[in-house]
Amino acid sequence: MNADTIASNALTVLSPVLLAGLSWLSVKAAQLISAKVANERLRGILLRIDDAVVAIVREISQVWVSGRKAASPCGTLTPEQRAQAKQAALDSVMSQLGTKGLAEVEKVLGLAAEAVEAFLATRIEAAVHRLQTTAPPAQDAGTAGDAVPFAA
């Protein structure tokens, strides 16, 4: 037996193993790509939802809530007004996402229509909380305004 015969026999024996290994690698690569695409799709949907929710919560806070608070003798909303504001935000978010967007959310997150509504309501509550905690503090009425450094 010479080297050519040995190499030919080795290739004949090892070729099914090499093909199986390459097949396994291609399947794993396809799974990895599929998972990456699914994750990016989910990320995109969640970012779109968050953008819509934050913008709508700010709009309702500025347009609807601030007017009701100003008209209220105690400067706060009643529980009914809070529920109305939340429902207005939910309706607006669902309208902005549209039927295709809502169907996409249902499909990607694996939720029923009622669960999507509850999911959006939770995102709205979180956005309201963020808005309230990041609001600038009210200016102290006893001061003259922002501090000005002394001139040298």
**pLDDT tens figures, 82-113:** 999 999 999 999 999 999 999 999 998 899 98
**Chain segment 60-84, per-residue pLDDT in tens:** 988 888 888 888 888 888 889 999 9
What are the backbone angles phi and psi of residue 142, rounded to the nearest 5°?
-85, 0
Indicate the average pLDDT of the chain.
Answer: 85
Number of C-beta neighbours around residue 132 at 10 A: 9
Please give the Cα distance from 53 to 94 (Å, whole number). Answer: 10
Asked whether the whole model's pTM tops 0.95, one would answer no
Q: Which 8-state DSSP code applies to residue 141?
A: T
Q: Compute the CA torsion angle 7, 9, 13, 16 (nearest 10 deg).
A: 70
| Sign for the pseudo-dihedral over CA of 136, 141, 144, 147 | negative
**3-60 and 79-109 are packed helices; what angle lies between their axes, rounded to 10 degrees?**
160
Block residue for tokens 């990320």: 43
